Amino acid sequence: MKTQNQKAWFFVLPVLLLVAFNALIPMMTVVNYSVQETFGNNIFFWEGVRWFEELLNSDRFHAALGRQFLFTGIILAIEIPLGIAIALAMPRSGPWVPVCLVLMALPMLIPWNVVGAMWNIFALPDIGLLGYFMNTTLGIDYDMTQNPFAAWATIITMDVWHWTSLVVLLSYAGLVSIPDAYYQAAKIDGASSWSVFRYIQLPKMKQVLTIAILLRFMDSFNIYTEVFVMTGGGPGNSTTFLSIDLVKIALGQFDLGPAAAMSLIYFAITLLVSWLFYTLMTKDDAK
Amino acid sequence: MRKRNLIPIIYILFLMLPIYWLVAMSFKTTNEILSGFSLFPQTFTWDNYVTIFTDPSWYLTYVNSILYVSINTVISICVALPAAYAFSRYRFLGDKTLFFWLLTNRMAPAAVFVLPFFQLYSAVGLFDTHIAVALAHCLFNIPLAVWILEGFMSGVPKELDETAYVDGYSFPRFFTTIFLPSIKAGVGVAAFFCFMFSWVELLLAKNLTAVEAKPIAAAMTKTASSAGYELGLLAAAGTLTIIPGAIVVYFVRNYIAKGFALGRV
């Protein structure tokens, strides 16, 4: 049982000040821009909700949002089951476990633009290993700078390569925490491996899977650097996800008002979906 | 060997392929790269690495990255420790709201913050300094560090605190000599995560720096575009960015699984 102690606020104060400096001031700047129009020189005009209305009715925003949800959906549908499957197949103990874990964590420790550059080099049609294999060995016409389907396939493969290990490591942490007694009981009952998974392993992994799904949702929904380096949002607009579009508007065209309005809506969607996931996945625990 | 061991092996091979290609490319001469496809470097060369280690505009960016990542890790852990202790041991007015609000900052798209951060840090005169990038990364790293440390601290029984007080320990002495050693795995894991997210993030780091504090990853993009495509050099710089992560992850290898579960298993 935790004790009631208001002095605990002093412990939290440094964190509060630092995060507030980084979060509240910029957020206020964004809110400020989102209701105004500017032509430079620090002259601003009140616009009210005009940018929000324009954005919510713009085809460009709808298209980027659609692509973003499609991308995140595909990512979750591939990485979560694949991650669980790999974690289930991993040995529970032995000298190879730390080696496996370190090797699997490696992709996550590479700077994101290096990941993009690495996959660019990997996919070059003439001299990249993947591009050469596809074009010369398999005879498939593959070039992600020309073909939208190839661009999508490469970006999805890149993300699976980059982040599936997160799901593996989380699921694995859940799996090793299951006491042997559970498996012995299941064996005595003659449970099939499917029912062991469904009634022992999956419930035990639920908490870590919640974290995995939340983190994978947030990060794939906010993806920017890798895609920017790999395709720059192209060919055409086919891989222009929300962050890429936002940076184009904010830093490319310097339309501060519309960019700020888009930032707020973007952030709100991320928060809302994360909250929905979280509530749905933890609602049984409350009972 | 059992058949199911094949799945992790195939997966790890898939992970290593693009990394192998990057490393192999870094040992090839520009001529060889441009002349066509080759699975192994035909004429093995260290030239690309020599260029990086002799040109200050290259190796200083590497130092810059390590500097701001270290500053960020130290700040994040130092402020997150007392906060995590408060969240794990006490109930206070608005604790749940505060905890959730901290976590929402982890969800913010970095793209949203690029321009306001640039203006904020320019306004306070910190633009293009290591401390600016370190502070900016605190936005993502402090909530994560608090979350992880809180998980590990909740695993330490509260009786430990009470026994120490009965034995006459003051709070600072108890915290540093008894409590910290008992959660040192948690501190290591939290530091690892701060290092990792600060090391891999580029969008904010690039836009908050110009010359003095430019990160290695930003130097890479610039040189790659200005000099046409020096793929060998690009690959060598990329390979060098993998090494710090590999070293750090080696130190926490035994706690990594628990760490990724944020101390919650």
Averaged pLDDT for residues B114-137: 86
CB contact under 8 A, B256 and A126: no
Domains of chain A and CATH, by start: 60-286 (1.10.3720.10)
- What pLDDT sits at residue A285? 57
Whose CA is closest to B148, among B100, B189, B201?
B189
Task: Give the integer Cα–Cα distance in Å for A262 and A134.
Answer: 39
Q: Which of A21-35, A271-285, B41-55 has the least mean pLDDT?
A: A271-285
Handedness of CA A270, A272, A275, A279 (dihedral sign): negative
Predicted confidence band of residue B227 (pLDDT cuts 50, 70, 90) = very low
Higher local confidence (pLDDT), B244 or A74 = A74
Q: Searching chain B, which residue's CA lies closest to the CA of residue A268?
A: B108
The SS3 assignment for A73 reads helix
Task: Give the integer Cα–Cα distance in Å for A44 and A253.
Answer: 17
ipTM, interface predicted TM-score of the complex: 0.84
Averaged pLDDT for residues B228-248: 83
Using DSSP bridges, classify how beta strands A44-46 and B90-91 pair: parallel, antiparallel or unpaired. unpaired
Predicted confidence band of residue B260 (pLDDT cuts 50, 70, 90) = low
Task: Give the integer Cα–Cα distance in Å for B110 and B264.
Answer: 27
- What pLDDT sits at residue A84? 93
Q: How many CA atoms lie within 13 Å of B183's alpha carbon, on the beta-carbon side?
A: 29
Residue A166, chain B, CB below 8 Å: the answer is yes
Q: Find chain B residues with C-beta within 8 A of A91's C-beta.
A: 5
pLDDT single digits (tens) A61-116: 888 889 999 999 999 999 999 999 999 988 887 788 888 888 888 898 888 888 98
Q: Which of A9-13, A46-50, A143-147, A242-246 has the least mean pLDDT?
A: A46-50
Q: Find chain B residues with C-beta within 8 A of A119's C-beta.
A: 18
- What pLDDT sits at residue B226? 47
Q: Searching chain A, which residue's CA lies closest to the CA of residue B196?
A: A109
* Largest Cα–Cα separation, chain B: 76
Count, residues in chain A = 287
Q: Searching chain A, which residue's CA lies closest to the CA of residue B232?
A: A121
Our CA-based measurement puts residue A170 at a distance from the nearest CA of chain B, in whole angstroms, of 5
Whose CA is closest to B95, among B86, B103, B104?
B86
CB contact under 8 A, B265 and A109: no
Predicted confidence band of residue B204 (pLDDT cuts 50, 70, 90) = confident
Task: Give the integer Cα–Cα distance in Å for A84 and A77.
Answer: 12
Q: Best of A33, A92, A110, A242 to disrupt the B interface by mutation (most B CBs within 10 Å)?
A: A110
CB contact under 8 A, B253 and A246: no
Averaged pLDDT for residues A186-196: 86
Whose CA is closest to A89, among B141, B9, B35?
B9
- What pLDDT sits at residue B106? 78
Q: Best of A114, A162, A216, A255 to disrupt the B interface by mutation (most B CBs within 10 Å)?
A: A114
- Single-letter amino acid, residue A148: P
Q: Searching chain A, which residue's CA lies closest to the CA of residue B251?
A: A102
The SS3 assignment for A92 reads coil
Task: Report the CATH superfamily, name and number, of domain B46-260.
Answer: MetI-like (1.10.3720.10)
Residue B18 and residue A157 in contact, taking contact as beta carbons nearer than 8 Å: no
Task: Give the integer Cα–Cα distance in Å for A128 and A134.
Answer: 10
Using DSSP bridges, classify how beta strands A36-38 and A44-46 pair: parallel, antiparallel or unpaired. antiparallel
Q: Find chain A residues with C-beta within 8 A of B250's C-beta.
A: 102
- What pLDDT sits at residue B201? 86
- What pLDDT sits at residue A39? 66
